[in-house]
Structure 1
């Protein structure tokens, strides 16, 4: 027995030294260098994922895409900070470490199509700036600590010039998308639009856009407070100010009216723009600027709204007017999305493309110098005991650097490609075409611009309606191991009954119905009562449009539509366009109640509380019902035998 105890004690004593030895091996210079290499490669892979798939966020509302992109965006920032810490604190010397550190700083601000993940990130623009300064300071200290060669100095200098350019672009995009930035960037257009309606003097023609001086592009302005003061002193004229920024329509300013008046073949209705798609790109961009006023806290006068409504009526006119209207709105919202989540608004400023060209030149020069450095480093690898080589004789450090170069080059080329065919590039090209009459006679330029403007590899949006059916999902219970009071600190909580149905395509019938409803009498929309009056049932059902909360109104009519959906012949359902419109819109509004209550007029918390109560009531009434048919029969029986007691499930029945 004692021998057995001694053996066990001896085995335990052996285990402790083995664990200690393993820990020491993980802290050796070789292990730290391997860890740095692995992290640098991982960061490079995450970057290429953001560059390639970042612009697909608004086109694919799928968690399989959103979660990996969110993970890549979040992890890359932390991994860059951690890897830079390992590099600066390394107890060994490796000439590739400063090069990797510079590339990590470039990666920290290089994704043009994925500058932020959420709107909350935009408000932390100062935090991003300080992070960049601290990290870059650490890299500068690292460079001074290294006794680097003249060749490496040239490489690090060229690559180092790219760092502030990348930083300034991303910092400016975060600032412009923040609350303060939106107020600042929309000030000029807001002041201009406050009096724009007075310029037309009643001479309006939406067909030719006569009188619509909505701004598409403003040239580079050089007016500063000091310059304005000198101009006033020179003029010796001090009129009563209105304290508004002035925007004079000069040759540097492109308006919607100028686009429609352009004599170039490319934009003529009898030339290269028979379907008005090219001119509508500029129209969408102009309307996007007006939409930004709402996010900047500005408003338009009543006369401006009336003038704009005449333009909207013109868009809806004609047999296919609804298609054109939705096309314009799609691009308008695409510009709005990019203004919040990408660098495009900064890149396509008057000086933005100049900076991108400089970045490209620095990238090419720095990459070529880095390749030369790799050859020099590989020939001298025997001097460094930490270096490992492959069977082909190439150092692992060189291969890691080559991977970084490939990712960096491919990422920049992909971003340049996406920018070249983006809607922002199309607006810029069309505005330059309007401003340069010499381009109107150049067939080659017109052909190139036309080709770019009509190239659309991906649709602007998903073009689907998300759906939710209360009678199908009220008994859904999310897994408690994933959604509970503890995990709510890390992920959004999924509540009981919160399970969406398969999305429906945004059909032509739905577009027609929306446009028809808006065109009927938009100023007197009464939450559905107008439809009831047209069908002579307002006296019987108008009460269902006047409930206390909009959430109640939506769910009541959603339940009624769901019951009707299963009480008519299938052949009728497939052929009737009104049925398809009613069911898809009903489930879409129920989806908003369930998942995005902040988009409804009600207070979001009140709407969520009402939804939770509706789920409980539905479960109590339909507790014994297993199939959908049983639920429908029960609701029909309730509607015939019980009075309205204020519960939306019974009101809907």
Structure 2
């Protein structure tokens, strides 16, 4: 077989391979597109990214191939020519994408105008293909039906991208301008009464005070109520993702609901809200979850069914269609019906549909059927996100990152040419993921609930979100002694407490099996991961510089002792350093930002705490870490939180939204409604 023959065979089969490949990619995108909201692994993201890009490229290339095919100019095989042209609408349909994934990343939504131009150009191209081939009436009718369905789907995708762009999302959440009470008229009336010799005074009638009863009975809510209220709160709290603010009434409503929830159910409501936000940003949910969108979905299902019936009649009357092309046409029609049917099923078992039906009393029976399906496919115990937290440990990294020639090459590329290969290598080699424990969730929940119950004053609950260890230390009466470690820059506090936590962890062999000590170390490793690998989610700082300098000093220190073989040995070696002889900062100066021996000083202070048992010490350390976690989540921008939803979610984002529901932080800027000022005139 010569290359010429291979090339001829490929020319004969090229368009067939392209359309089947396009269908295969759409099936993969439909099933895998929604998985990444709860799967954080690279083995899903990489194939999904390739499929997302290739799906459009292949469909567009296939349409171009059809327009350039010389057989369209006429010939003895008109039947074969016409059936190939019949495939063009399916390519338009595939360009419309799947309901589960319209955007791979949030940045893709900003390219909605490019997709609109692509829609226009591809529709014109498909029309040109039909005009050039002029298929018979029997084949033209099913082709036109599929063409209309394809244009509808492609337009739907473009509208979904536009609706999910940050500018459109933000503008859709803005409230109408509110001038408030007429101040000028009020003052004029007051002045006129005074000028008339009357005694006029202004009396301020306070608004209804918020419900500050912190002794709310905790009870377990029905799963259906959780889903419904999550959908209700989502329409309010989604404003945080576009950096808009909330009102005091939003805080009152949310706090009244979350105070009575058990820990796991509070997290479940937040999870469902984040799923709804993910679907708003990365799927067609904003377009299809409405009566118009659902009606369009019925049409896009009916179109391939009608086309299948019409095509069966047309193919049965003609004998000049190639059997393989007829088979491929049936595969395309069957694939279109399957994709639309499955998309409708996903749309039905969605919190969007359940909430819409439940809100209408006459549709309650339908809502119960939908909820039964939701419970079957998405039970309450099943996590709606990855439920994982990444771990990155400084001592472990410094111990294992030995000099190698290839690492030297990667570092040269990184520092000389800004190719972040060494950073990517470190992320892959030294990062691991662990499940978020129920004990950690409970500690976060209880601390936030305690802070929410401690005050109802707006300035106070804003200030609570600014604490990053101070509140925990003050409650234990240790702020005077340890406050220096949390009053410095935030990235410095993270590194200080990270190293100190490790040194305390290995100080007693019993800590290795202590759940509270293990949990403290898990939060510590997670916060370091965010500082080093997710700096865009942290406050602006020199955290990566400080981490690099600290690692450099740690590596030099460890290499001086060749007998060190594990992390425990490194920790023992660091604890042996007597930092009381001289202040580390005084000796090192400020050029190097390393905090290695400052952390040793902190660890020594923690280990020497008077009257502190192991359990009390670790309760303090865990409380400080949870407070740091909450502070970091509150300072991360809404856009950065939104970016992480497509990578399995981030614990930082879950905590951020839970903080907002408990009213802790600076998300609430509208502290009261319209003042109730009355003009009282004494006659």
TM range (shorter): 0.7 to 0.9
The one of 343, 364, 367 aligned to 1:415: 343
The one of 495, 509, 530 aligned to 2:439: 509
Please report how far the alpha carbon of residue 403 of structure 1 lies from its aligned counterpart in structure 2 after TM superposition: 2.8
For 1:635 and 1:118, how far apart are their aligned partners in 2?
43
Structure 2 CA distance for partners of 1:314 and 1:568, relative to 1, 3 Å: farther
Please report how far the alpha carbon of residue 348 of structure 1 lies from its aligned counterpart in structure 2 after TM superposition: 0.6
Instruction: Tell me which residue corresponds to 1:471.
Output: 395
SS at match of 1:364: helix
The one of 275, 284, 292 aligned to 2:238: 292
Q: Please give the per-residue CA displacement for 1:264-318, whole angstroms capped at 9, x wherever unaligned.
A: xxxxx9xxx9724323323222322223323445323xxx23x333444434435
Structure 2 CA distance for partners of 1:133 and 1:446, relative to 1, 3 Å: closer
Pair 1:278 & 2:224 matched: yes
Structure 2 CA distance for partners of 1:90 and 1:332, relative to 1, 3 Å: same
Instruction: Tell me which residue corresponds to 1:636.
Output: 575
For 2:491 and 2:420, how far apart are their aligned partners in 1?
28
For 1:503 and 1:613, how far apart are their aligned partners in 2?
25
Please report how far the alpha carbon of residue 618 of structure 1 lies from its aligned counterpart in structure 2 after TM superposition: 2.8
For 1:609 and 1:518, how far apart are their aligned partners in 2?
32
Instruction: Tell me which residue corresponds to 2:71.
Output: 92
For 1:108 and 1:398, how far apart are their aligned partners in 2?
22
CA contact (8 A) 2:109 2:164 kept: yes
CA contact (8 A) 1:60 1:461 kept: yes
Please report how far the alpha carbon of residue 156 of structure 1 lies from its aligned counterpart in structure 2 after TM superposition: 1.0
Pair 1:652 & 2:573 matched: no
Correspondences of 1:507-586 after superposition (within 5 Å) = 507-521=437-451, 522=461, 523-524=463-464, 525-548=466-489, 550-570=490-510, 573-576=512-515, 578-586=516-524
CA contact (8 A) 2:349 2:371 kept: no
The one of 284, 290, 294 aligned to 1:353: 294
For 2:584 and 2:532, how far apart are their aligned partners in 1?
24
CA contact (8 A) 1:95 1:148 kept: yes
CA contact (8 A) 1:173 1:346 kept: yes
For 1:206 and 1:35, how far apart are their aligned partners in 2?
70
Correspondences of 1:91-130 after superposition (within 5 Å) = 91-93=70-72, 94-130=81-117
Instruction: Tell me which residue corresponds to 1:236.
Output: none
CA contact (8 A) 1:206 1:314 kept: no
For 2:130 and 2:483, how far apart are their aligned partners in 1?
75
Correspondences of 1:438-517 after superposition (within 5 Å) = 438-439=362-363, 445=366, 447-457=368-378, 459-474=383-398, 475-476=400-401, 484=413, 494=424, 496=426, 499-517=429-447
Please report how far the alpha carbon of residue 125 of structure 1 lies from its aligned counterpart in structure 2 after TM superposition: 0.5
Instruction: Tell me which residue corresponds to 1:175.
Output: 162
Please report how far the alpha carbon of residue 500 of structure 1 lies from its aligned counterpart in structure 2 after TM superposition: 4.5
Instruction: Tell me which residue corresponds to 2:672.
Output: none
SS at match of 1:622: helix
Q: Which runs of 5+ in 2 are unaligned?
A: 73-80, 182-205, 452-460, 586-592, 601-683
Structure 2 CA distance for partners of 1:614 and 1:131, relative to 1, 3 Å: farther
CA contact (8 A) 1:36 1:83 kept: yes
SS at match of 2:37: coil
The one of 99, 121, 141 aligned to 2:128: 141
CA contact (8 A) 1:551 1:602 kept: no
Correspondences of 1:19-98 after superposition (within 5 Å) = 22=3, 24-25=4-5, 28=8, 30-93=9-72, 94-98=81-85
For 1:492 and 1:172, how far apart are their aligned partners in 2?
40
CA RMSD of aligned residues (A): 3.3
SS at match of 1:110: coil
Q: Which runs of 5+ in 1 are unaligned?
A: 1-17, 208-268, 382-386, 388-394
CA contact (8 A) 2:220 2:262 kept: no
Instruction: Tell me which residue corresponds to 1:266.
Output: none
Please report how far the alpha carbon of residue 115 of structure 1 lies from its aligned counterpart in structure 2 after TM superposition: 0.3
SS at match of 2:468: coil
Structure 2 CA distance for partners of 1:159 and 1:497, relative to 1, 3 Å: closer
For 1:81 and 1:639, how far apart are their aligned partners in 2?
69
Q: Please give the per-residue CA displacement for 1:189-217, whole angstroms capped at 9, x wherever unaligned.
A: x769999xxxx95276699xxxxxxxxxx
**Number of aligned positions between the proteins:** 534
CA contact (8 A) 1:473 1:498 kept: no
CA contact (8 A) 1:468 1:499 kept: no
For 2:420 and 2:471, how far apart are their aligned partners in 1?
45
CA contact (8 A) 1:622 1:631 kept: yes
Instruction: Tell me which residue corresponds to 1:263.
Output: none
Please report how far the alpha carbon of residue 476 of structure 1 lies from its aligned counterpart in structure 2 after TM superposition: 3.7
Deviates more, 1:110-119 or 1:539-548: 539-548
CA contact (8 A) 1:476 1:497 kept: no
Pair 1:588 & 2:588 matched: no
Structure 2 CA distance for partners of 1:354 and 1:487, relative to 1, 3 Å: farther
For 1:573 and 1:316, how far apart are their aligned partners in 2?
34
Structure 2 CA distance for partners of 1:528 and 1:360, relative to 1, 3 Å: same
CA contact (8 A) 1:285 1:332 kept: yes
> Greater RCO between the two (CA within 8 Å, min separation 6)?
2
Instruction: Tell me which residue corresponds to 1:627.
Output: 566
